[in-house]
Amino acid sequence: MEDLKGGREGLIHRSDDKVYRPSGFWSQSIHKLLLHLKNEKFNSAPKSFGFDSRGNEIVSYVSGDVYNYPLVGAISSTEALCSAALLLRKYHDVTASFVQSKNCNDLAWLLPAREPQEVICHGDYAPYNVALSGNTVVGIFDFDTAHPAPRIWDVAYAVYSWSPFKTNPHDSLGDLPKQSARAKQFCDSYGLSYADRTQLVDTMISRVQALVDFMRDEATKGNEAFIANIKDSHHLAYLADIEYLERNKEQITNCLVANNHDA
C-alpha cells in the first residue's frame, strides 16, 4: 500500500489501481453518484468498488499529475483553468438527471442540500482535487463534499479556488486584475450566464462563509480535524478572503460581465 499525499495525512492509500479512503454516513450516496457517472460514460471520476471491512471506501485511481497551493507549473496555466471549468460543466450536466431521478431520493450528504437542486455539486472543486495530463485537467477525485445544489454554488467555490481569491501569500497568485481575469476565463469556459455572473461574488462570499460555519460546527461536535484547523487559524484565512471579496465586489463583477452578451 502506498500512502497518497495531498489530503488527510496517513488516511488515503493506493494499491495498484485502487484507492482506499475513510468512509462516512454520506459515502453510500457518493457511490450511487459514481455509478451514475459511469453509466452516463463520464470517465473523469473514480469508479466505485464498494467498501472494505475496515470502514474504507474503495474507488479507482484517477491517473494524472496532482498539485496543491501554491499554484506553480501546469496547474497555474490558462489551459488548466479553462479545462477545469469545461470539465466541471460536463460533470454538472451529467449529474442533472441523477438529481431528478428516484435514485437521488432520501440520500444522505455530508453538506446540506440547497435549493434549487439543479445538479450534484462536487463541493470542493479546487486545484488539489483534480488530475492533469500536461496542462489539461482530465480527472476529478475526493467527492466527500458532493451535495445537491444549484450550479452557481459549485462554480462560486471553484472560481474562488482557481482564481484564486486568496489573501494569504502562500496560496495567492497575482493581483486583483489577474485574479478577476482568471475568474472571467473560468466563467467563459463554463458558460456561466450573465445573471449568474452578477450574483457570483455574493455567492462566493456565502459559500466561503458556509465553509467557516461548517468548520466551527464540526469542531464544536468534537471533530479532531476541524478542531486542529481552527487551532491553526484556517478559518481566519477564509474570513480575510471574504473581506477581500466584499471590498472588491464591484471591480470583480465588472470584469466578469464585460463583453458577456447573454443578458
Residue 104's binding partner among Mg ion, ligand ADP, none (Cβ under 5 to 8 angstroms by kind) is none
Record the cell numbers describing residue 41, joined without a space: 460514460
Report which of 221, 223, 210, 209 is spatially closest to residue 22, judged by C-alpha positions. 223
Residue 61's binding partner among ligand ADP, Mg ion, none (Cβ under 5 to 8 angstroms by kind) is ligand ADP
101 CB neighbour count, 10 Å cutoff: 11
**Which residues from 129-158 bind Mg ion, rule CB under 5 A?**
129, 142
Of 142 and 196, the one with the shorter C-beta distance to ligand ADP is 142
Site string for Mg ion, 92-131 (x = CB under 5 A): -------------------------------------x--
Report the residue closest to ligand ADP, judged by CB. 7
Residue 173's binding partner among Mg ion, ligand ADP, none (Cβ under 5 to 8 angstroms by kind) is none
Record the cell numbers describing residue 241, joined without a space: 478572503
Q: Min. distance of Cβ 208 from ligand ADP in angstroms?
A: 18
196 binds Mg ion, rule: CB under 5 A:
no
Burial 172-195 (b: 16+ CB within 10 A, else e): bbeeeeebbbbbbbbbebbebeee
Angle at 69 between CA 67 and CA 70, to 5 degrees: 110
64 binds Mg ion, rule: CB under 5 A:
no
**Three-state SS across 129-171?**
HEEEECCEEEEECCCCCCEEECHHHHHHHHHHHHCCCCCCCCC
Integer CA distances (angstroms), 63 to 17, 48, 66, 87, 242, in order: 9, 15, 9, 15, 34
Of 12 and 252, the one with the shorter C-beta distance to ligand ADP is 12
Q: Which residues bind ligand ADP (CB under 6 A)?
A: 4, 6-8, 12, 19, 21, 46, 59, 61-62, 66, 128-129, 141-142, 144
Residue 196's binding partner among ligand ADP, Mg ion, none (Cβ under 5 to 8 angstroms by kind) is none
Interface with Mg ion (CB under 5 A): 7, 129, 142
